[in-house]
Amino acid sequence: MNVCELSREGEFKVTGDPRVLYTIMMMIRTKIVYQGNQALGIAALIATRYSAIRRQFKTIDGSKMERTLLDYQTQQHKLAPMIATIYVQQTVGHYCNEGFGLLQDAVKKGDFGRLDVMHHLLAGYKSIFSDRVLNLVEVARRSAGGAGYSAWSGLPNIYFNSSPVPTYEGDNTVMMLQSSRYLKKMVDRASKGKTIPEPFGYLNKIPALVKLVARINTIDDLLNLELLEEAMQVRAALYIVDVFNKMKESNAPEKTKENEIIAQQKLPMMFAHFDSVTVNVFRQRIEEDIKKGAIRSANNKAVYDCLVKIYILENLSKDNGILMSSGYISGQAFTLII
């Protein structure tokens, strides 16, 4: 598509729709979201193999053999959430890559209808995924003990190559705040009775979600995937109501509210929002693959369900205060998570 012209006299003129230029920026973010998990996958592979072979301390009753690192609960708590995150984020990466392909096809026809939603998804996921990849590569490096610090392990080089990603093509904090603008538009539309499509469908249920209490109390509740996905939706809904109500109540100028009063509170809201969307996309894609025959074994479906449960529980273990204060999850259940 011809967007601009440069005359023989050196005069530069924009002749097409300048919104086309956004797709170039979004293409790079798509690659980060779609391909960024490869580094984490390699790091997890190295750390898991090392943990399966390396033995340390004679802690097995009735045996003089040392225990493998992978048999220690603490090592499992490092590696299992990492592996779950890889599968979940890679699935979402495929979803975003396909969405960007549809956007490109539409733009060629002059249709920019998908631009806003893809900007929202790619800005948010670029921020979340690149941060998680970098942090989890470091977890993998440290889980390999002294060997992980050796260049021979490959882990320091993976960390080095992953470290610029949270800042190039947009600082992650700025990306998340930019993404919050489209979330506000969707929430406003939902409050006026307009239906918000998937994967943002939970926004249609915000009034009902924030009223749910005493839903997770036992170990069986924590193993119920439907309840776990609901918990992610409720957490996001509670944050959204809290943040946007504070914005409405403030009499400060809009730019002051956005940059000096509410900005920091938006970040956990956006993480919760994208975590909810992530779980929705992952589960929908698995169901689609089952219908298409790509997943044929019930055992495979059980593995994917287990992975997303681990992903959700890991996220809830780090940010569940708002669910506890609302009464959605009991204190007893919280102790079971950690």
So which residues are the catalytic ones?
A: 169
Query: What phi and psi values does residue 286 have, to the nearest 5 degrees?
Result: -65, -45
Helix ranges, 54-205 (H)? 73-108, 115-143, 155-162, 172-191
**Chain Cα centroid distance, residue 205:** 21
Three-state secondary structure of 181-226: HHHHHHHHHHHCCCCCCCCCHHHHHHHHHCCCCCCECCHHHHCCHH
In angstroms, the CA 51 to CA 37 distance is 21
At 169, phi and psi to the nearest 5?
A: 60, 35
* 154 within 8 A of 46, measured Cβ to Cβ: yes
Separation in Å, CA 303 to CA 102, 127, 227, 299: 30, 28, 18, 6
Alpha-carbon distances of 295 from 161, 279, 289, 306, rounded to whole Å: 34, 18, 6, 15
User: Percentage helix, strand, coil, to 5, in the chain?
Assistant: 75, 5, 25
CA distances from 4 to 13, 24, 168, 278, 295 (A): 6, 15, 26, 37, 47
Residue 61, classed as helix, strand or coil, is coil
> Rounded to whole angstroms, how far apart are CA atoms 221 and 322?
18
How is residue 233 written in tokens? 């939706």
Question: Across the chain, how many H-helices and E-strands are there?
Answer: 14, 2
Burial environment of residue 243 by CB neighbours within 10 A (0 to 12, 13 to 18, 19 or more): buried
Q: Using DSSP, state whether 8 is helix, strand or coil.
A: coil
